[in-house]
A and B are shown apart, each in its own frame.
Chain A
Amino acid sequence: MPSLLKRLLPLLLPICLASPAVNAAGDWQELPANPLILTVTGELGCCPQGQALFDLQRLDALPQVEVKTLTPWTDQEDSYRGVRLSVLLDELKAQGQRIDATALNDYSMLLNLPAARQYPVILATRKNGKVMRVRDKGPIWVIYPLSDFPELRKEEHHQAMVWQLKSLNIAR
């Protein structure tokens, strides 16, 4: 019996780790323990104050997706990992048709929400398994799966691939 538990433990651990995060939905309004890397504002069902704050840990607690793609600013296909934008929006019970993404240098872009929901667009926090520094376009890079979906290879979506993302604003 104990041997079985030992074997199951690696499988159960992520679930156990993940569930407190989900349960801690209310905590998103609190300032996180680690450096704040993402602020989501707007009409959020989860957060009556209209603001959800994330550090890397909180983002990592959400289901992670991996996207392998080439971008117009990189020379080879890299592996990016992060939470899917649509999943994050659902978690936050975000209601709205527009998403404004703003970068550390205050570059701001309106995202095409239907496309962002339809395709596995992620808020990448890791490139090739490594946390991204600012010089690597981190801490968060909005990654569209350009390699897998050729129809996304358009200027419109390229512009939406905001790097050094610091905040999202959701509006009706």
Chain B
Amino acid sequence: MRRLRYLFLLLITLGFAVAIATSLVYNQRNAQITSARIQLSAWSLAQLEFDYLRFVNTLQLFQAGGATREKLQFDYELLWSRLEAFLSGQENSAIRQRFNAGETVAQLFAQLRSDEALLFSPDLQPGTPIEQVIERYNRYLMPIRQLIINNFTGPEAARIVDEIHHNQRLSHLLLLGLLFCGGGLILMFYLEARQNRLMARTDPLTNLPNRNSFQALQNDSRVANCCALAVIELSNFRAVNERISHEAGDRLLQRIGETLNRLKPQGSFIARVAGDEFVMTFPQGFPEELVMGALNSLAYALSFDFQSDKHLFQVGTRIGLSFNPDNSFSLQKLYYFATLAARELRAGKHKGLEVFNEEISNRYLRSQNLLDDLKRAMAQTESSGLSLYYQPIVGLVDTSIGVEALLRWRHPTLGFIPPLEVVELAENNQLGQKLGEWILQRLKQDLLRLPQGLREALYFSVNLSPAQFTASLPEQIEQWLGEAPIRANQLVLEMTESISVANFNEGGTILRKLNEQGIAVALDDFGTGYSSLSYLRELRVQRIKIDKSFIQGISHDQQLQRVVRSIVELCHTFRFKVTCEGIEDENDAQQVIDLGCDHAQGYWYGKPMPVPALITWHGEFLARPMLKKRLLVQQ
């Protein structure tokens, strides 16, 4: 397509050049024709002089008896004809205007006509003295000669020739200017096209090469012409974009682009390949220590507090690096390796630099295998190793008892896989929504396995994954409730702070719709994220779950007690019920009761357990003395 366009341009250019060349030739020819006009007038004058001289000569011969009457009259006629032709018509109009030629010749013609009677009189015979007649005509000799001279060399003639030359030069100049303009046009075309090409390969925000450019580089070279490649990712970028504004996000990216450009080693290539992902290569022969040094300082430079309006964000980077020993990998491979290293950091929620190695590769392969197995497990209905366990949540100020549904995966060969890993695996591979659906589906099945009395006595708390927290969630839940054997007020949905932060604006609507259905929402892991007071106030949740890191060892740590008491009081101010997680012994349990918590969860009350165990636990729990005591107190 581009080639066709260039061909077209070339044709236009050629046409242009041919047109100009033709114009030049025609111009030249026109000039020649114009000078031919001058020659024409010269010819006319010469003919005139010739006929005039012949006539005068014949007059003299006639006087000497050397010419006949007929000859004299014939020459008279010829001169007449010549003078008339000179004085009429278009051809000689130019020369008539110049040097008084018209007047001179008209006088001569008048003279000729006035002598007609004399020269044609029958009395006139050869030998007749006609001295006076000859004299009358001789007078014109000099003027006519002068006309010819003037026509060729006079100032007027010179002016005409000069003018012609001047015009010719001018039109040459004009045509050359045209040629120059055409050339300029084509140059502009070319530059424009180059600019467009450049723009297609440049990220307008950071002015760095974009993904297209990086891909072109990948396609161009089979072997990466660099000794190392780093993938630089921002942590927290999405939050900045969504929590503050896209403009703030753009500013952040611009700033990072500038930093990268400033710190990049000479000969290295950098590109912004995705929203918050940059790529940097290191040229051949760049020592390994220097690569590490450069990236470490880059990681340092890219860790800063980003302030926008009232918000302060800690920007951090994850850098995945892969070396290219012996220049054996393609750019594509290197990029892939570096991405894996960065993914490793992301999975571990770490910042800084990670160098790709075999372990990472293995871990990645393992996670890929796990992912395949997870997909398979979710597709199977029974005995897939994937199941739900239920951990009791006990009411401290009332008799309510609920359970939190927790994911358990016993892999056929790898054994128990931590739920966090399963959830992250699913989230990172766009399976979060599907996993969430699977959990709800399995919960529904498990509910049917519970005795009706127990099913109606408990409430059920389910964790939401980020992928599930979309506008369609309320509708999905409503549909689920229609099929499940529990009421809406028996369902609690738990979400982490990061979910609601990441989707804050839309989040409010989602939560309101859930509340309208009578579903309570709990904020999980409270205290570990970045909740602000204003955020808490606006959030439409009913429960706050204080993270177990605040509870562990609380019975002998007064400061922790004060912190938790403050949190509880704050939450109560906002009319949130508070659940404390991680209650491991009686002291903890007593402590959280004293601090005013509403609900408690932990090994002290019961570990996560499958449905049959839950039924047993419930029976035993109701028989516990502690509970009886509390029931009595309340009575």
Residue positions of A touching B, CB distance < 8 A? 71-75, 104-105, 133-137, 155, 158, 163-164
Contacts and interface: CB of A to CB of B under 8 A. Distances in A.
B90 A72 contact: yes
The 6 closest A-B pairs by CB, nearest first: A134-B77, A72-B91, A135-B80, A73-B89, A73-B85, A135-B77
Contact of B89 (A72, A104, A155): A72
B89 A74 contact: yes
A155 B43 CA distance: 13
Nearest to B43: A159
A71 B40 CA distance: 15
Contacts of A74: 88-89
B92 A73 contact: yes
Contacts of A158: 91
A134 B81 CA distance: 7
B172 to A, nearest CB: 24
A158 B77 CA distance: 22
8 contacts: A71-B89, A104-B74, A105-B51, A134-B74, A134-B77, A135-B80, A135-B84, A158-B91
Contacts of A164: 78, 81
Contacts of B88: 73-75
B81 A137 contact: yes
A63 B282 CA distance: 101
Contacts of B40: 155
Given A104-B78, A135-B81, 12 more contacts: A72-B91, A73-B84, A74-B89, A105-B51, A134-B81, A135-B80, A136-B81, A155-B33, A155-B40, A158-B91, A163-B85, A164-B81
A75 B89 contact: yes
B10 interface: no
Interface string B66-96: 0000000010111011001100111110000
B200 interface: no
B89 A134 contact: no
Nearest to A71: B89
Interface in B31-84: 33, 36, 40, 51, 74, 76-78, 80-81, 84
**B contacts with A: majority SS:** helix
Nearest to A135: B80
A155 B36 contact: yes
Contacts of A135: 76-77, 80-81, 84
A108 to B, nearest CB: 14
Nearest to A105: B78
Contacts of A73: 84-85, 88-89, 91-92
Contacts of B90: 72
Contacts of A71: 89
Nearest to A163: B81
Contacts of A136: 81
B328 to A, nearest CB: 80
Interface of B: 33, 36, 40, 51, 74, 76-78, 80-81, 84-85, 88-92
A137 B74 contact: no
B57 to A, nearest CB: 14
Contacts of A155: 33, 36, 40
A124 to B, nearest CB: 14
A137 B88 CA distance: 13
Nearest to B74: A134
Contacts of A75: 88-89
Contacts of B74: 104, 134
Nearest to A104: B78
A57 B89 CA distance: 30
Nearest to A107: B47
Contacts of A134: 74, 77-78, 80-81
Contacts of B78: 104-105, 134, 164
Select the residue from A75, A105, A137, A155 with max chain B CB neighbours within 10 A. Answer: A105
Contact of A133 (B33, B77, B89, B91): B77
Nearest to A164: B81
Contacts of A133: 77
A167 to B, nearest CB: 16
A75 to B, nearest CB: 5
A71 B85 CA distance: 10
Contacts of B92: 73
Nearest to B79: A135
A20 to B, nearest CB: 32
A69 to B, nearest CB: 12
B118 to A, nearest CB: 16
B115 to A, nearest CB: 13
Nearest to B54: A105
B36 A137 contact: no
A77 to B, nearest CB: 12
B109 to A, nearest CB: 11
Select the residue from A133, A134, A163 with max chain B CB neighbours within 10 A. Answer: A134
Nearest to B112: A135
Nearest to B50: A105
Nearest to A132: B81
A73 B88 CA distance: 5
Nearest to B36: A155
Select the residue from A135, A136, A137, A158 with max chain B CB neighbours within 10 A. Answer: A135
Contacts of B33: 155
Contacts of B77: 133-135
A153 to B, nearest CB: 10
B51 A137 contact: no
A51 to B, nearest CB: 23
A89 B479 CA distance: 110
Nearest to B40: A155
A104 B79 CA distance: 12
Contacts of B84: 73, 135
Contacts of B36: 155
B199 to A, nearest CB: 56
Nearest to A136: B81
Contacts of A72: 89-91
B203 to A, nearest CB: 66
A72 B51 CA distance: 20
A136 B88 CA distance: 12
A134 to B, nearest CB: 4
A83 B230 CA distance: 100
A133 B81 CA distance: 9
